Structure 1
Amino acid sequence: MTYAMIGTWRMAYEGLCKGMDLLSQNGKSADAVETAIKEVEDYPFFKSVGYGGLPNANGLVEMDAGFMNGDTFEVGAVMGISDVKNPISVARSLSHEHYNSVLVGAGASQYATLNNFERKNMLTERAHKIWEKRRKEIVEKNLSPYDGHDTVGMVSLDASGSLSVGTSTSGLFMKKPGRTGDTALVGDGFYVDSEIGGAAATGLGEDIMKGCLCYEIVRLMGTGMTPQAACDKAVYSFTKKLKERYGKIGEFSLVALDKNGNWGVATNVEFTFAVGTEAGEPAIFIAHPAANDQTKIEPITQEWLDAYSKRIKAPID
């Protein structure tokens, strides 16, 4: 059997490399997903996930995470968890529970404490400065408060044929306390079946959850479609329908991986992602929506990477 892994956004790359190292040593897909996402959660300059994630309207970092095992369909998720270092680990732990496998708010945080998960103040000084700046801009420039909602999602296939998927986010910047999007909702933000494949989503959760797109992509792969064809069909057909019926649409980006290690991506914005396979080293790509409801995918340039690194670490005025 082969092994492979795919993750959303440029921020997935370093974690995905660690996950691929595990897979290359006959590691389990579930361990690869958790390891990869923890790497993203721990990095303070990724402002939409974990430590350094941007807070809600009240200045609190509330995080969502989900995990699913493709062999057993075990699902665990947390919504609105706070002051916990690695929400993905809590979500994976909850997946082993038949009852109470999805916890929200104070209940999720309490479970983490009682089960000895590391607690941590997830609001960094940098994130607080960004929050204060945005509050001022909202008043002075009459801007929308909402700016940023990227989720890290990882799908992993190990050499034994097992697939797993995980997601983690601090959610919509300046969201109302208690708000959750698609990230921790099975079928919306993530889904996996080891007999078929898995998918993960990122973007505006309020719109993504209207289409159950991760489940739909896996369902389409189950009919014989390639991951790329399934992503294109699910994403572009639904975004058209949503725009027609709802009148507007947010950002949508989804990644998929099948049981043979083939992968696919679809998006309605400029979207970066990381992917690694047994046949090749992990790499970062950039995707754009193209003509005829297809996705254009290209290798990322060094110029883009340099600009990205400079941007995420730039001083906050």
Structure 2
Amino acid sequence: MWGIIATWRMAFDGVTVASQLLKEGVTVGDAIESAVRLVEDNPVYKSVGYGGLPNIQGAVQLDAAYMDGDTYQIGGVAGISDVKNPISVAKQLSKERFNSFLVGEGARDYAVLNGFDIQNMLTDRAKAEWEKRLKEVQKNQLNPYDGHDTVSMVGLDVSGSMATGTSSSGLFLKQPGRVGDSPLSGSGFYVDSEIGGAAATGLGEDLMKGCLSYEIVRLMKAGYTPQEACNQAVYDFDARLTKRNEKAGAFSLIAMDCNGAWGVATNVEFTFVVATENQRPTMYVAIPAEDNQTNIEPITEEWLEQQRKNPTVD
């Protein structure tokens, strides 16, 4: 059995490629790396990799992580600049016994020394949006933060190995050096090949308060299905966070267990992509429902057309 689940519809092409690789017996780590790289390389997506929206100073600082579910090895980078594929750096770092999580200049230096592709990650389109948004914020006293859509993936290969990967440019107009949940184990991702894995997207500052990816894996270990685990973790924490702080930021979690079953929960409208041995790559939309449940429906052409007219999610 093999399978892969990923956040946001921007992951569709990557999941399609990864599903073919997994079908051919490629390891889950290599399949996930290939899938995330496709998202990182596409300048259309404004929250990941090349074309990602910059921080308040106009610099693109990227976060990424990789975890091997067989060994618990984790690699991560945060605030890395001018590196084409942060997920590949994170995956290589996961093989290091020490110094496996690097930030800022140290992460960039490691990438340079190890031969990773270096390039300016700020596109003309992203720079124009940055300039426009700065003017709007200054003129209208708006909240500057807009967009924090991490591409996150959890996968299973035919040998039973599991892995997870994340990549993000973080909050638009974030402060220099700001790091969200995406590269942080337990918050942005977690995986154990004997149980399953989970990964997150959303407002990192709130996701970090709940360590929801680890919590979902813990619940699956306790016997919950992936969907039950997602519902329990996400809606319980959303309620507690709202009670204590009057509001909770947007967050969504995906999960897959060691048998290829999957689940999703969210406190906003959220799109995701799934492919398994028994299911071709399919895009879904998830919406929170009553009684701590999640409504999940395949994305239709009508839904896509509505989003083209009035886009609200990636």
Q: What is the TM-score when the length of structure 2 is the normalising length?
A: 0.97
CA distance in 2, matches of 1:278, 1:308: 29
Aligned position for 2:97: 98
1:160-186 CA-to-partner distances (Å, cap 9, x unmatched) read 000000000000000000000000000
Q: Write the distance in 2 (CA, Å) between the matches of 1:80 and 1:142.
A: 27
Deviation at 1:22, TM superposition (A): 0.4
Residue of structure 2 equivalent to 1:4: 3
* 2:181 equivalent to 1:182: yes
Identify the residue that residue 290 of structure 1 maps to in structure 2. Answer: 289
Partner of 2:267: 268
Deviation of 1:264 (Å): 0.1
Partners of 2:138 and 2:107 in 1: CA distance: 34
Deviations 1:251-283 (CA, angstroms, capped at 9, x unpaired): 010000000000000000000000001011100
Question: How big is the shift at 1:139?
Answer: 1.3
Q: Which runs of 5+ in 1 are unaligned?
A: 313-317
Show CA shifts across 1:274-295 (max 9, x none).
Answer: 0001011100000000010000
* 1:196-221 deviation per Cα after TM superposition (whole angstroms, max 9, x unaligned): 00001000000000000000000000
2:255 maps to which residue? 256
Letter of the structure 2 residue corresponding to residue 152 of structure 1: V
Instruction: Report deviation, 1:309.
Output: 5.8
Q: Corresponding residue for 2:17?
A: 18
3-state SS in 2 of match to 1:286: strand
- Could you tell me how far apart the structure 2 residues matched to 1:80 and 1:206 are? 15
Give the alignment of 1:156-235 within 5 angstroms: 156-235=155-234
Distance 1:269 1:309 in 2: 19
Deviation at 1:306, TM superposition (A): 4.0
State TM-score, norm by structure 1.
0.96
Measure, in 1, the Cα distance between the counterparts of 2:164 and 2:308: 27
Gaps of 5+ in 2: none
Q: Residue in 1 aligned with 2:60?
A: 61
Query: d(CA) in 1 for partners of 2:104 and 2:11?
Result: 26
Structure 2 equivalent of residue 315 of structure 1: none
Take 2:303 and 2:118, find their aligned partners in 1: how far apart are those partners? 35
Deviation at 1:310, TM superposition (A): 7.3
Deviations 1:220-247 (A, max 9, x none): 0001110000000000001101111122
**Aligned-partner Cα distance in 1 for 2:31–2:307:** 25
User: Whole-Å Cα distance in 2 between the matches of residues 57 and 46 of structure 1?
Assistant: 19
Residues 84-107 of structure 1 show CA distances to partners (whole Å, capped at 9, x for unaligned) of 000000000000011100000000
**CA shift at 1:248, angstroms?**
1.9
Residue of structure 2 in register with 1:34 after alignment = 33
Is the alpha carbon distance of 1:215 and 1:223 closer, same or farther for their aligned partners in structure 2, counting shifts above 3 Å? same
**Could you say which residue in structure 1 is the equivalent of 2:141?**
142
1:244 correspondence with 2:243: yes
1:120 alignment counterpart: 119
One-letter amino acid of the structure 2 residue matched with residue 249 of structure 1: A
Q: Distance in 1 between matches of 2:307 and 2:52?
A: 17
- Deviation beyond 2 Å, 4+ runs, structure 1: 303-312
SS at match of 2:209: coil
Residues 119 and 311 (structure 1), Cα distance of their counterparts in 2 relative to 1, 3 Å cut: farther
- State the match for 2:151 in structure 1: 152
Tell me by how many angstroms 1:140 deviates.
1.4
* Aligned residue identity for 2:138: V
How many Å separate the matches in 2 of 1:9 and 1:110? Answer: 31
Q: Percent identity?
A: 60
After TM superposition, the structure 1 stretch with the greater mean CA deviation from structure 2, 303-312 or 99-108, is 303-312
3-state SS of 2:35 partner: helix
1:304 deviates by 2.8
Per-residue CA deviations over 1:102-151 (Å, capped at 9, x if unaligned) read 00000000100000000011000000010000001011121111000000
Quote the residue 1:86 is aligned against.
85
CA-CA distance at 1:249 after TM superposition: 1.0
Amino acid at match of 1:162: S
Whole-angstrom CA distance in 2 between matches of 1:154 and 1:122 = 22
Letter of the 2:42 partner, please give it. Y
SS in 1 for 2:199: strand
